[in-house]
Structure 1
């Protein structure tokens, strides 16, 4: 085979590679030939239009489960139920020997109070052991008053919780001080628990968090809760709840293709539009990018659904407007296609070293 024939063969292979986009190293994506595939593809291709944007905004609503009640500070909280580990301060007016039988004036209410045992019982002089667990402060006060009536004339009894210890929740994950939050007689919701543990850490997700209750996980729209852009309730917490704050790794979109910089872009507390993602990546490459071929790959929510490829032409004015309204979701992949001329230059630049080597070998053999 002479050098001209070999060189022509290499160039032919190069153009075949260009047309098929399979032999050229690097990422080359095309969805224009979907209709030529006999089998049904595992994805659907949708051109971004104002109607599509409207539908996506309606689908993006993330309502909180009806199983969760809001922590409304304007509404009086339900009465606290005493539990094991709580410390009660029981006062019988005008009878210090009952309130403080040891006569110590320096003891604080917690150390001098009555500890509720693991079975919910508590002891008080001349009353004996009573069941306080699962009862309100008012119910315990009335029970002690009735029992003391046989030894004290018209007893005036006051009962309060000196230390709340029985109802606890766990705050875990990306918070500044993970740990336990104790529920008391005030209203405490999801946000109050986060604030009590120091708030979110710098690596925390600002978008999604979890509330785990009785083995069931509830997804909380943290972005909506923190920003107030959408009506998201602040869930009321119950004893045994777990508040889980994940890190921001799953809040990224990946911007690839013909851009100044390729790589992940993190979605913050606010929405990240396609225009913002492209801008944070340095914009489209002026020499190689095809502004008429911008693709967004979105994975399905369930295995039964198809993946979606959204297509947008940024070469048109309306395309630029739509890009500013198209909100990206975590794990989306944005891909900017190369121009046909850029692909041609790439093929030639890859073939030239091989062709040159062939000519050099041919020259040596002569």
Structure 2
């Protein structure tokens, strides 16, 4: 018996040289380990990251644009804080803050005009309808489309639009004084129908809200609509006025001692409250529970909070030095931020780094994990090949 036969099972070759199966298995295993990084299944952050650029109409081949990576450090945190302060100043400069003013009458409003000690004039108000709906106008004098009202013994129509009830009262008194001696007159608005604001989004009772003698502030509009829902993102409240959108961060205003009641709405304004579900952050990669994470009610979500809600990094497979935040992933100019989270001190930065809507938090895997996953894929094939070789022999 020669030395080749003593080495165990062998495979025949074209040159009649025997190859030990054990050596073949070791060679295949070594080759698999050496190629693990290239063949590893699943996701892996390629360095440096590049973005294929669309080819031009002239037929030139597409080029790759390298995406810059920004390190998350104390300087970047301070830049974020400065940007938040700038947003607050922008809100103050929007021109939305105003002092309450008396209610101004408009077409469609219904006035109740009472002349005391003259019951014959009470009939001019009309009688309440027994089956009246809440949307029906109350009995009284309606301001017509031209902004005028008519009243008995007043020689000509009184222009009421743009005036307060007190101003209309003084004009009626001046005319009736020509007929009656010192008439006692009361003018009040029975139905506010000329001006409305519309509230939608994450409020409990969205819909149109009539502007009345109570100043229509931002908080008044929200309260009349039942308040914010649990899904409301109070940092993303938008006022749409004359085709222009004004973003309002209500939560930040309250935190800084600025009263949202100082923001006055105007007739025709639309107030929209966004949902927290529309501003989720996606945590992926080597975390214990990959998921879509919603911001808190004040609209803020830090990197540390997102990782915590995703069960933190997997200690068995995560590469702590390869923690990335991918921003504006759907645009042509994405941004990538990197944090080396091997030190517990780095979590201080993670707890101060603010995430934005649709950010992707990605934790890369380690090289050993990638090699192990390749072997798990290749070993069944290697074992099957060895078994087939032994059976063939």
Asked if the contact 1:100–1:112 (Cα under 8 Å) also holds between the matched residues in 2, the reply is no
Aligned twin of 2:34: 15
Asked if the contact 1:221–1:232 (Cα under 8 Å) also holds between the matched residues in 2, the reply is no
Residues 317 and 246 (structure 1), Cα distance of their counterparts in 2 relative to 1, 3 Å cut: closer
Deviations 1:279-317 (A, max 9, x none): 11111112111222211112289x68x422111111124
Unmatched segments (≥5 aa) in structure 2: 1-12, 14-18, 51-62, 131-136
Deviations 1:120-176 (A, max 9, x none): 222211115332122222331222222223322333433221221211011112221
Q: Report 1:149-228 matches (<5 A).
A: 149-225=177-253, 227-228=254-255
Aligned twin of 2:307: 278
1:138 to 166, 183, 188: 166
Q: Report 1:1-366 matches (<5 A).
A: 8=27, 12=31, 15-16=34-35, 18-20=36-38, 23-31=39-47, 41-61=65-85, 62=87, 63-64=90-91, 66-70=93-97, 75=99, 77-101=100-124, 111-127=138-154, 129-225=157-253, 227-229=254-256, 231=258, 233-234=260-261, 235-270=263-298, 271-299=300-328, 306-366=333-393
Q: Secondary structure at the match of 1:60?
A: helix
Deviation at 1:209, TM superposition (A): 2.3
Unmatched segments (≥5 aa) in structure 1: none
User: Structure 1 residues 190-199 or 138-147, which shifts more?
Assistant: 138-147
Deviations 1:338-362 (A, max 9, x none): 1221111111112112222333344
Asked if the contact 1:206–1:268 (Cα under 8 Å) also holds between the matched residues in 2, the reply is no
Asked if the contact 2:107–2:194 (Cα under 8 Å) also holds between the matched residues in 1, the reply is yes
How far apart in 1 are the matches of 2:259 and 2:31? 60
Aligned residues: 351
How far apart in 1 are the matches of 2:311 and 2:129? 68
Asked if the contact 1:64–1:232 (Cα under 8 Å) also holds between the matched residues in 2, the reply is no
Q: Secondary structure at the match of 1:356?
A: helix
- Normalised by the size of structure 2, how large is the TM-score? 0.79
Q: Secondary structure at the match of 2:220?
A: helix
Deviation at 1:221, TM superposition (A): 1.6
How far apart in 2 are the matches of 1:133 and 1:178? 28
Residues 364 and 116 (structure 1), Cα distance of their counterparts in 2 relative to 1, 3 Å cut: farther
Residues 240 and 356 (structure 1), Cα distance of their counterparts in 2 relative to 1, 3 Å cut: same
Q: Secondary structure at the match of 2:219?
A: helix
How far apart in 2 are the matches of 1:251 and 1:184? 34
Aligned twin of 2:4: none
Aligned twin of 2:57: none
| Greater radius of gyration (CA) | 2
Q: Secondary structure at the match of 2:345?
A: helix
How far apart in 2 are the matches of 1:102 and 1:7? 103
Residues 153 and 300 (structure 1), Cα distance of their counterparts in 2 relative to 1, 3 Å cut: farther
Asked if the contact 1:297–1:308 (Cα under 8 Å) also holds between the matched residues in 2, the reply is yes
Deviations 1:220-275 (A, max 9, x none): 224324x5247575531111111112322222111111111101111112432222
Q: Secondary structure at the match of 2:368?
A: helix
User: Structure 1 residues 181-190 or 92-101, which shifts more?
Assistant: 92-101
